[in-house]
Amino acid sequence: MNRFENAKKTVLKATRSYYHHLGYYEDLLVSESTKHELDFLEFAFRTHATHRVKEVLDVACGSGRHILGLAHRGYKCTGQDYTPGQVQVAKARAKREGVFVKLLQGDATRLNDDGKFDAVLALRILFLLPDDDNVLACLHQVHRALKSGGIIVCNVANPFYNGENWFSLKSIQRGHYFNEVCVPGMRWLSIDRIEDFDPLHGVAWWQETPVIETSDGIHVFREHERLRLFTYWDILHYLQAAGFKQIKCYPDWKIKPPKKPKAEWLVFVSRKD
Ligand SMILES: C[S@@+](CC[C@H](N)C(=O)[O-])C[C@H]1O[C@@H](n2cnc3c(N)ncnc32)[C@H](O)[C@@H]1O
């Protein structure tokens, strides 16, 4: 079996190591966009669910930036993540911020609590799952976990994005990606190299060396990550296969997308009938 095929163990091991180390700094980097994403989530809840959204599940909550944010806004929240280090960071953060969120370690393809939630988030996770069976299992489980009239919000990176980003076909064809981002208190230099790319199945293994400068020093990581490249149509078909209807895509978290959106991120909202 080659590593582009169903290598669930290898993929989960790489994921666990990658997010264990980087999750905390990644959250600091994207804290500006998180507020906008939370506003979008509340818009999606109001617009797409048939009833008032009260209870929310995040199936790969990372260190909790969305699920804690929603708890602060008054929702009853549950977050789970496969990486124990991420769950620990989320727990510490919830305690520090004085907010209650039920936080669990678990795989996004295995959820409990059938018909319990008004909304389920699957953000930046589908492309990390090892294969089609896992993506479908995750979406089927989300469908089961939702009340009828409840919604899923999921997103994936768009490989056809024409600008500069580590997941764009441009970077993949070039074989590497360099970028420097500065936010208050942190400078993040990404040095990413494609280790392997399977153009038939659209699967890439990246070797990533983020160099992160913060007030507590300079941190250099070296990690591997595997990503599946999904198009708009792939996600549409997965959602339909899992039983979702009335699927709407909002490129780049924009409530009113411009005529030609940048489409760096494809954000899908869909309801369980
Ligand atoms: C890119 S981060 C996204 C975190 C958060 N949803 C966000 O958008 O900021 C991906 C997260 O998925 C988690 N993850 C990867 N594979 C998983 C799986 N099979 N089940 C649950 N979580 C998983 C990782 O540990 C990581 O925290």
CA distance 128 to 17: 13
Element (H, E) at 217: strand 217-220
Model confidence at 2, pLDDT cuts 50, 70, 90, reads low
- pTM for the complete prediction? 0.93
Q: Which residue has the tokens 């979406």?
A: 139
Is residue 184 predicted with pLDDT exceeding 70? yes
How high is the pLDDT of residue 3?
62
How high is the pLDDT of residue 170?
86
Mutational test site, ligand 1, from 6, 128, 136, 208, max ligand atoms within 8 Å of CB: 128
CA distance 249 to 230: 14
Averaged over 139-145, what is the pLDDT? 98
* Residues within a 6 A CB radius of ligand 1: 15, 19, 23, 60-62, 65, 81-83, 86, 107-108, 123-125, 128-129
Model confidence at 20, pLDDT cuts 50, 70, 90, reads confident
Averaged over 98-105, what is the pLDDT? 97
How is residue 128 annotated by DSSP?
G
Mutational test site, ligand 1, from 8, 15, 153, max ligand atoms within 8 Å of CB: 15
Averaged over 133-157, what is the pLDDT? 97
Question: How far is the centre of ligand 1, averaged over its atoms, from the C-alpha of 108 (Å)?
Answer: 8
Question: How far is the centre of ligand 1, averaged over its atoms, from the C-alpha of 126 (Å)?
Answer: 9
Q: Let me know: does 192 contact 207? Beta carbons within 8 Å.
A: yes
Question: How far is the centre of ligand 1, averaged over its atoms, from the C-alpha of 259 (Å)?
Answer: 31
Q: What pLDDT, in 10s, does the model give residues 45-86?
A: 999 999 999 999 999 999 899 999 999 999 999 999 999 988
How high is the pLDDT of residue 5?
58
Determine the angle formed by the axes of helices 132-145 and 232-241, rounding to 10 degrees.
Answer: 50
How high is the pLDDT of residue 142?
98
Task: Indicate the average pLDDT of the chain.
Answer: 91
Q: Let me know: does 78 contact 26? Beta carbons within 8 Å.
A: no
Q: Is 220 exposed, middle or buried (0-12, 13-18, 19+ CB in 10 A)?
A: exposed
Model confidence at 8, pLDDT cuts 50, 70, 90, reads confident
Is residue 30 predicted with pLDDT exceeding 90? no
Which token pair is 145?
């976990």
